[in-house]
Structures are given as C-alpha cells and as structure tokens.
Amino acid sequence: MPKAKTKSKSSKVAEKVESIKKSPPKPVQPTKDILAVLEAPYNRVFEKAIEQVGEDLVKLREEVVRMDGMSQSNYAVIIGEIDKYLN
C-alpha cells in the first residue's frame, strides 16, 4: 500500500499560527452591545456618557470613570464592560 503524505511539523505549526492570528472581528458598534448587556441604572449612566462624549470607547471609559468619582454609585460594571471591548 502506498503511504499517505503527512504534513511536516513546520507546516502544521504555520497553520496553527495562522489560525491564532485570525482573531474574530470586533463588533462595528460595541456601544449598542454594551447597552444591551447593562441593566438599569447602569444603562442610563452609559447613555448619558454617550451623549456627553460620543461613541469613542476610550473617551467613554474616561467619562464613566469621571462620573464614578463624582457619584456615590459604583460604576465598575460599566467600566468592566467597556474594557472587554478595549482589550
């Protein structure tokens, strides 16, 4: 019987590297995804931040951190959701 051709180790490694390099695309509108995850009152706070600074996640995070410092509420939930999309 003829032997089946097997892939060399280097080609297997190259395929694994290619599969790792291809990360899933980030959502086009992460702010809508974040809003869908957040429950009241956090979704209202996040909407206020969007009204203030727009949909740039870095600016939104800074705004929520600023709002967190000004209020007695803890907005770590919102900051955590934003961080999921920044990393």
Cis peptide before 30 (omega within 30 of 0): no
Contacts of 86 (CB under 8 A, 6+ apart): 57, 58, 61
61 within 8 A of 47, measured Cβ to Cβ: no
Which of 4-8, 61-65, 75-79 has the least mean pLDDT?
4-8
pLDDT tens per residue across span 2-53: 665 666 666 666 666 565 556 556 556 899 999 999 999 999 999 999 999 9
pTM value is 0.66
77 within 8 A of 59, measured Cβ to Cβ: no
**For the chain, domain boundaries:** 25-86
d(CA 64, CA 75) in angstroms, rounded, equals 7
What is the pLDDT, as a whole number, of residue 87?
Answer: 78
What is the pLDDT, as a whole number, of residue 83?
Answer: 94
